């Protein structure tokens, strides 16, 4: 089977596509892939590291205000469609998979015009602009949240598969996670992370609560700052506590996130859908701080799904401080009953066979040609 993958901008769009490729490889060692991403997106760095063939197109997203840049975006879209058609004709895929981000627009649209079966994946509870546009052209729309199928009224076929990234994380080696952090396997770990690029507001809360960490004996805190925030965050923490405590581990980025998640007792993070699929596949309790700077405020909708199920505590960014964040962490870590109930609720929301379900749809579409 020959598969074109497209998704970009953030890890939340890229990693599900990679998970699809890995699942396909595990079932069909002869499968061939081409990943089409944006020249400026994170995928241009991450996808080659995954040893997947990569081609790029020049594309940008629409601005929500009136701007001449939107005229340029339309021109880039049309050129992106032409470039995508050429790449698709050369590669001759059996199916094209889009996992979100504006780079998918010209790729999936070009495939639909060429009569190539297409499937798009929506990670969030509220669809993004690109997937809303593509849903009328794609053969299948796959959703991550059960019950969100109605968000695509113009789609030909909508199925609930969950997020393929959940399968990758479910298979992660817990022991390797502890080893990569240099911690014994009986450690309690609170992981604080602001997404693949980091988040300034979460980093500030990390800094503010650093002096309080010693009041939670036996708990190791892993701060993941994002590469651009690392030096300034470490300097700020040192200005407040001096040398970093033994139980505080500050990292710019985690390259083996599935393994680290597998050994995590509690996670503090944004509410991107791929991350939520990962933590629910492992049943990890969470404190969610949804980003207010996303389309349709979809992260808050994602977070409320977990909060209402009892799997998470949500703190809106406007209410975030080091004091209330640490208070929520202490409440959960000091009460094993609370953690166990949250973990059970999180597990109940997970769909760890998501990659298998998604690949089943791919095979169905590929066989329809």
318 phi and psi, to 5 degrees?
-65, -20
Q: Do the strands 266-269 and 188-193 form a parallel or antiparallel pair, or are they unpaired?
A: parallel
Please state, in angstroms and rounded to a whole number, the distance separating the CA atoms of residues 317 and 336. Answer: 27
Tell me the pTM.
0.80
The answer to whether the annotation marks 291 as part of a ligand binding site is no
Handedness of CA 333, 336, 340, 341 (dihedral sign): negative
The answer to whether the annotation marks 12 as part of a ligand binding site is yes
CATH for the 169-349 domain, from 3.40.50.2000, 3.40.50.720, 3.30.420.40, 3.30.450.20: 3.40.50.2000
Residue indicated by tokens 């949500």: 314
| Three-state secondary structure readout of 217-258 | CCEEEEEECCHHHHHHHHHHHHHHHCCCCCCEEEECCCCCHH
**In 319-329, which positions are buried (b, 16+ CB within 10 angstroms) versus exposed (e)?**
ebebeebbebb
Residue indicated by tokens 């009224």: 153
Identify how many contiguous H helices and E strands the chain contains and give both numbers. 15, 13
Closest listed residue to residue 12, CA positions, set 214, 257, 216, 315: 257
> Residue 369: what pLDDT?
65
> Residue 222: what pLDDT?
97
Reported as type and span, the H/E element at residue 278 is: helix 273-282
Write out the two tokens for 287. Answer: 């404190």
Name, in order, each residue with C-beta under 8 angstroms of 73's C-beta and a sequence gap of 6 or more.
59, 60, 61, 62, 63
Please state, in angstroms and rounded to a whole number, the distance separating the CA atoms of residues 235 and 84. Answer: 45
The answer to whether the annotation marks 293 as part of a ligand binding site is no
**Cβ proximity of 24 and 112 under 8 Å:** no
Q: Please determine whether the domains at 2-163+352-366 and 169-349 fall in the same fold group of CATH.
A: yes
CA distances from 92 to 3, 34, 88, 113, 193 (A): 9, 10, 6, 14, 40
> Residue 332: what pLDDT?
98
The answer to whether the annotation marks 323 as part of a ligand binding site is no
The answer to whether the annotation marks 79 as part of a ligand binding site is no
The answer to whether the annotation marks 73 as part of a ligand binding site is no
Max CA-CA distance within the chain? 64
Q: Where are the domains of the chain?
A: 2-163+352-366, 169-349
**In 249-276, which positions are buried (b, 16+ CB within 10 angstroms) versus exposed (e)?**
bbbbebeebbbbbbbbbbbbbbbbbbbb
- Judged by DSSP in three states, 119 sits in strand
What fold, for 2-163+352-366?
Answer: Rossmann fold (3.40.50)
Count of all residues that appear for the chain in the document: 369
Low-confidence spans in the chain with pLDDT less than 50: none
**Cβ proximity of 105 and 59 under 8 Å:** yes
> Residue 146: what pLDDT?
84
């Amino acid at each position: 089977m020959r598969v074109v993958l497209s998704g970009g901008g953030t890890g939340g769009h890229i990693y599900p596509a990679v998970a699809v490729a890995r699942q396909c490889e595990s079932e069909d060692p002869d499968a061939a892939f081409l990943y089409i991403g944006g020249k400026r997106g994170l995928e241009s760095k991450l996808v080659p590291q995954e040893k997947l063939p990569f081609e790029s197109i020049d594309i940008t997203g629409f601005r929500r205000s009136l701007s001449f840049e939107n005229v340029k975006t339309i021109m880039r879209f049309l050129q992106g469609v032409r470039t995508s058609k050429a790449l698709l004709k050369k590669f001759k895929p059996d199916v094209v998979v889009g996992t979100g981000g504006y780079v998918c627009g010209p790729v999936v649209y070009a495939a639909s015009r060429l009569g190539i079966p297409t499937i798009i994946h929506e990670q969030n509870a509220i669809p993004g602009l690109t997937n809303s546009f593509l849903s009328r052209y794609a053969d299948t729309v796959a959703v991550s949240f059960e019950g969100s199928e109605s968000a695509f009224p113009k789609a030909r076929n909508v199925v609930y598969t969950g997020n393929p990234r959940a399968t990758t994380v479910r298979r992660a080696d817990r022991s390797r996670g502890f080893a990569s952090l240099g911690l014994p396997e009986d450690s309690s770990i609170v992981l604080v992370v602001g997404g693949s690029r980091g988040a300034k507001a979460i980093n500030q809360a990390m800094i503010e609560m650093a002096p309080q960490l010693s009041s939670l004996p036996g708990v190791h805190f892993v701060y993941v700052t994002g590469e651009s925030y690392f030096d300034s965050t470490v300097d700020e923490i040192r200005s407040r506590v001096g040398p970093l405590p033994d139980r505080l581990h500050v990292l710019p980025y985690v390259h083996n996130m599935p393994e680290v998640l597998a050994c995590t007792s509690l996670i503090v993070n944004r509410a991107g859908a791929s991350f939520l699929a990962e933590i629910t596949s492992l049943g990890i309790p969470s404190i969610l701080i949804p980003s207010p700077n996303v389309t349709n405020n979809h992260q808050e909708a994602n977070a409320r799904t977990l909060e209402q199920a009892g799997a998470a505590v949500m703190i809106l960014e406007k209410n975030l401080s080091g004091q209330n964040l640490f208070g929520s962490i202490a409440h959960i870590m000091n009460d094993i009953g609370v953690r166990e109930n949250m973990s059970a609720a999180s597990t109940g929301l997970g769909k760890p066979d998501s990659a298998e379900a998604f690949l089943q749809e791919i095979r169905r579409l590929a066989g329809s040609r």
